Amino acid sequence: MMQLLIHAIVAFASSVGFGIITNIPRRTLLPAGVTGAASWVVYVVITGLTPNVILPNLLAAVTIGLVANTFAVVVKAPVNVLYIPSLVSLVPGAIIYMSMKAFTLGQEAAAQQGLIKTLTIAISLAVGFVVAEALFRPLRRHLHRRPAR
Amino acid sequence: MPSEKTIIELCGRVGKLLLENGAETGRVEGTVEYIGVAAGVPISCHATMTALFVDADTDTATHLVKVRTKDFDLRKVDAVNTLSRQFTAGAIDFATLDQAVGAIETTRRDYTWPQKILGAGLVSVAPMLLFQAAWSDLAWAFGVGIAGYLAANQVGRHTETPYIAVAAGGAVIGLLATGLQRAGVGVSADNIIISALMPLVPGVAITNSLRELIAKHTISGLVRAVDAVMVAGAIGGGVVVGAALAHLLTGGRA
């Protein structure tokens, strides 16, 4: 429980930090942080339950998709502004770096393995977004109808 | 009533702004076409990562805008989005839109440097390594990440050559992390490097590229993917050079 809390806090900080670097508007910093933290907690919990690589990433991306889309309607911002910072902890950046490093050092097998893992994770994340957007479409109509301008 | 030519020209500028600063291709095309319709000229827009075509359906002439993507500036994307919403809802007229787009193009609203440095530091503590790397290494990564981010930024300001900036950032991170390990204060240089690289690494670009591919924006997806691999390669090369330099300086074998 304690560990999850620490995970959530660090993930929140990461997302807010990346939001600052990519210069997202101030009113979207908090939603981005919350989205990042929520998705990372989902990732950590699912990773503890299964040795599978695809499932945690996919579900974390579904979480991002749902939470970010809701926030996007609330703060009236393009979803991408929330997607990018909240993705930062999940995204296979470290793995593609290690793979390219293996490549520069002439370790072809490790480089190939890294590239394929990068692709696997990226595909699971992207599919997660597609699923989330499909789920969200009927919800959005509902959200849009309610708040008066 | 603005002429068709001015509408197309403005649409081109809007599309360029969005594309340069990190919006997805689908959204760029959608926004431009909405603005066209709202301004009274049905417009077709085709966007790839490197160019943007805007065409009025009633005319044979096509407006071509060349685009070179830079660093993400999502605040501009958000500002353009807000404007286009207001315009399509009829809250502002064409002249106001034109002026506001000009203002977004020329001014850059940004967080202050201390805020950005803090942000880079926060990103550099990767949740991926929690309970796996030593806590002291994560603390070091905070500082090393800031150094790498600043190096990449400074170099990026002085050179037009692509990929040099991230390579320099990688080199600084490799140098510092290896140096810390050699000095005996860092436990694992690899962990510090991976964590500190988080602000530079092109993970978001890869995922965006896959999203473009799934949305059938195949060209944009491929452009983004190749770019991401190039960036990762530049960082990897930078780190290797930096680490080798650290080994040389501390008098060990590389």
CA distance B169 to chain A (A): 13
Which chain B residues are Cβ-neighbours of A76 within 8 angstroms? 82, 85
Q: Does residue B209 fall inside a structural domain?
A: yes
As a dihedral over the C-alpha atoms of residue B134, residue A125, residue A19, residue B138, rounded to 10 degrees, the angle is 0
- B24 pLDDT more than 80: yes
In the listed set B106, B132, B167, which residue is the last one of a domain according to the structure?
B106
User: Closest to B127 (Cβ–Cβ): which among A40, A81, A123?
Assistant: A40
Q: Are residues B100 and B226 in the same domain?
A: no
* Spatial CB neighbours of A142, under 8 Å, sequence gap ≥ 6: none
CB contact under 8 A, A91 and B237: no
From B25, which residue of chain A is nearest by alpha-carbon distance? Answer: A80
Q: Which domain holds residue B245?
A: 113-249
pLDDT for the residue B131:
75
Per-residue pLDDT tens over the stretch B46-95: 888 888 898 887 777 788 888 877 677 888 888 898 888 888 888 888 88
Q: How far is A52 from chain B (nearest CA, A)?
A: 16
Query: Is residue B64 located within the same domain as residue B24?
Result: yes
CA distance B212 to chain A (A): 9
| B150 and B244 together in one domain | yes
Q: Hey, are the CB atoms on A13 and B122 less than 8 Å from each other?
A: yes
Cα gap B235→A31, rounded to integer Å:
30
A44, β-bridge pairs: none
Domain check: are B146 and B244 in the same one? yes
Q: Does B115 touch chain A (CB under 8 A)?
A: yes
Q: How far is A141 from chain B (nearest CA, A)?
A: 17
Q: In B, which residues are within 8 Å of A48 by CB distance?
A: none
- In this complex, do B199 and A20 lie within 8 Å of one another by their Cβ atoms? no
Q: Is residue B243 part of a domain?
A: yes
pLDDT higher than 70, residue B44 = yes
What was the pLDDT predicted at A145? 61
How would residue B1 be classed by pLDDT, with cut points 50, 70 and 90?
low
Please give the Cα distance from A98 to B51 (Å, whole number). 32
Q: For B139-177, what is each residue's pLDDT tens digit?
A: 888 888 898 888 888 888 888 787 898 899 999 998 888
Same domain, B222 and B117: yes
This model's pTM is above 0.95 = no
- Tell me how far the alpha carbon of residue B19 is from its chain's centroid: 10
| Number of domains into which chain B is organized | 2
Question: Both B176 and B222 in a single domain?
Answer: yes
Same domain, B207 and B230: yes
Cross-chain CB nearest to A97 (options B73, B204, B236): B236
Question: Under an 8 A CB cutoff, do B194 and A80 touch?
Answer: no
Q: In terms of Cα–Cα distance, which of A7, A39, A51, A47 is closest to A128? A: A39
- Of B52, B85, B106, the residue that ends a domain is B106
Q: Does B229 touch chain A (CB under 8 A)?
A: yes
Residue pair B38/B88 in contact (Cβ under 8 Å)? The answer is: yes
Strands B43-47 and B62-66: unpaired
Q: Do B118 and B220 fall within a single domain?
A: yes
Residue B63 inside a domain? The answer is yes
pLDDT tens digits for chain A (149 residues)?
A: 788 888 888 889 889 988 888 888 888 889 999 999 999 999 999 988 888 889 999 999 999 999 998 898 888 888 888 888 888 888 887 888 888 888 888 888 999 999 899 889 888 988 898 899 888 888 777 766 654 43
* Stronger pLDDT, B71 or B236, i.e. the higher one: B236
Measured between CA atoms, the residue of chain A closest to residue B234 is A100
Residue B85 belongs to some domain of the structure: yes
Is residue B135 over pLDDT 50?
yes
Q: Look at residues B85, B106, B127 and tell me which one is the last residue of a structural domain.
A: B106
A129–B contact, CB cutoff 8 A: yes
Could you tell me which chain B residue has the CA closest to the CA of A41? B127
Number of A:B CB contacts under 8 A?
A: 170
For residues B127 and A89, give the distance between their C-alpha atoms in angstroms, rounded to a whole number.
6
pLDDT in tens, B179-229: 888 887 877 878 888 888 888 888 778 878 888 888 888 888 898 888 888
Whether residue B72 is found in the same domain as residue B131: no
Q: Is the per-residue pLDDT at B254 higher than 50?
A: no
- Cβ distance A17 to B122 less than 8 Å, yes or no, reads yes
* CB < 8 Å to A16, chain B: 119, 122
Residues 55-84 of B with CB under 8 A from A: 71-75, 77-79, 81-82
- Is B12 in the same domain as B101? yes
Q: Does A14 touch chain B (CB under 8 A)?
A: yes
Q: Which residue of B17, B25, B69, B78 is the best one to mutate when testing the A interface, meaning the one whose CB has the most A CBs within 10 A?
A: B78
Distance in Å, alpha carbon of A147 to nearest chain B alpha carbon: 16
How many angstroms separate the CA of residue B164 from the nearest CA in chain A? 16
Task: Note whether residue B224 is domain-resident.
Answer: yes
Alpha carbons B43 and B35: distance in angstroms, whole number: 9
Nearest in space to B246 (alpha carbons), one of B170, B194, B191: B170
Per-residue pLDDT, A33: 92
